[in-house]
Amino acid sequence: MKNRLLVLAAVLMLLVPFVGVAAQDQTIVDIAAGNADFSTLVDLVTAAGLAETLAGEGPFTVFAPTNDAFAALPAPVVAYLTSEAGQDTLTSILTYHVVAGKVMSADVTTGDVASVEGDAISIVVDNMGVHIENANVVTADIEASNGVIHVIDAVILPDIELPEVDPLIVSGDIITAGSSTVFPLTEAVAARFNAEGYTGTITVDSIGTGAGFERFCANGETDISNASRAIKQSEVDACGQLTPPRSPLEFRVGTDGLAVVVSAGNDFVQDVTAEELAVIFSTAQNWSDVRPEWPAEPILRFIPGTDSGTFDYFVEAVFEGDEAPILAAANTQLSEDDNVLVQGVESSPYAVGFFGYAYYVGEGERLRTVAINGVQPTTESVENGSYFLARPLFIYSDAGIIAAKPQVGSFINFYLTHAVEECANVGYFPPSAFALNLAKLNLLANIPSM
């Protein structure tokens, strides 16, 4: 009963929006009344059927997302949470924003704290402020007689559970194509799906992100598009022109650190700045053009083809989206096959290239990564964002496809369920907990029958 009262009290505190700093003789409900900035939160609490819940005395700490925080979620997710199918999930999310006890900002330390929902909330305190999971505290210490409110700039998510999939009872074909970087991850998940009993056919083609989106959006030939970058608006528009039209659904499945590599025989390039990296892959003819002390030998460049999401990401990160400088560089070989790039870089101490970190790991001592701005690609540097060329990995599908081919939805469910483990097996970094839980929500939101 005590736990139940905690939940009821927590939900009531989320019922109405917050106004400015209030006197401590007012309850959280009193403070909450009258601020339109939290109308989405009010709507969601009302939709959950919790508006009449009575509050206990507390004290409680509430992390309250703003309207803008909810607007950052995909619209179908918010719609799902207000539907009958999403009631339990909505309640879990709302109570995940509440902690028993009154915790002021001066008392907050880095660590985990139990939420009323039950899952632990990760808190990090640094010189940039207080971070609650993926959110930042933007207004702290709004005191009330029964607790305190901290306003946050993003919605935080507890662990989202998907319905269990039994591959033994899944049938029908599944067609995937796209990124060469995502290829080994999708291939590994497909192999596991088969090993656990799926008897249909899964096709996984490695053709590059751009070519994958062309098959998915322009031609309507595939069920899932593997991508090492986010889909472009022009590709979304192309999907909308199909008959029937497709609305791409995004699912984050991993993280890759794009590795800039030289051969093991290169003994002079250890670390470059982001600015030097741009020169190396554009205007420099010889290595000595980058740094005078480096050899006066031609730079041999091996880069992914223009259909590759790896190419797109590198151009965006290094050249601010302008591909002209890298395509105009001398001694440049492009290939959609990462193995060709690996072999090219290995062939000369004056060669340089870039591709997904997992491919570098597979090459052992024949290649060496180059640090960028003093940071090497590692699990820690990619996860915390300190490495310059860390990027997300995605798969895309469409609700109409999944409705017509339920096996596609089952496979995506299986993919998201095992993404963390399979990323480790392949050599990639897992998506953040928030990104993975959002992907699961996106699946549930578009396939309510699951």
Q: Is the pLDDT reported for residue 56 higher than 60?
A: no
Residue percentage of the chain with pLDDT more than 70: 88
Query: Structural domains in the chain?
Result: 2-152 (2.30.180.10), 170-450 (3.40.190.10)
Q: Is the pLDDT reported for residue 448 higher than 90?
A: no
Q: What is the pLDDT of residue 3?
A: 46
Q: CA 331, 333, 335: angle at the middle one, nearest 5?
A: 170
158 or 378, which is more confident: 158
Alpha helix locations (H) across 347-405?
A: 357-361, 379-383, 399-404
Q: What is the pLDDT of residue 149?
A: 85
Q: Is the pLDDT reported for residue 4 higher than 50?
A: no
* Cα dihedral sign, 85-86-88-91: negative
254 or 377, which is more confident: 254
Q: What is the pLDDT of residue 37?
A: 80
The model's pLDDT over 127-139, given as tens digits with 9 standing for 90+, comes to 888 999 999 999 9
Residue 189 to residue 349: CA distance in whole angstroms? 36
The model's pLDDT over 275-286, given as tens digits with 9 standing for 90+, comes to 999 999 999 999
The model's pLDDT over 281-301, given as tens digits with 9 standing for 90+, comes to 999 999 999 999 999 999 999
Q: What is the pLDDT of residue 362?
A: 65
The model's pLDDT over 374-429, given as tens digits with 9 standing for 90+, comes to 999 887 788 777 899 988 899 999 999 999 999 999 999 999 999 999 998 887 88
User: 273 — alpha (psi -120 to 50), left (phi > 0) or beta?
Assistant: beta
Confidence of residue 142 (pLDDT cuts 50, 70, 90): confident
Residues 50-66 have a mean pLDDT of: 67
354 or 36, which is more confident: 354
Token pair listed for 444: 């549930």
Spatial contact of 62 and 31, defined as CB atoms under 8 Å apart: no
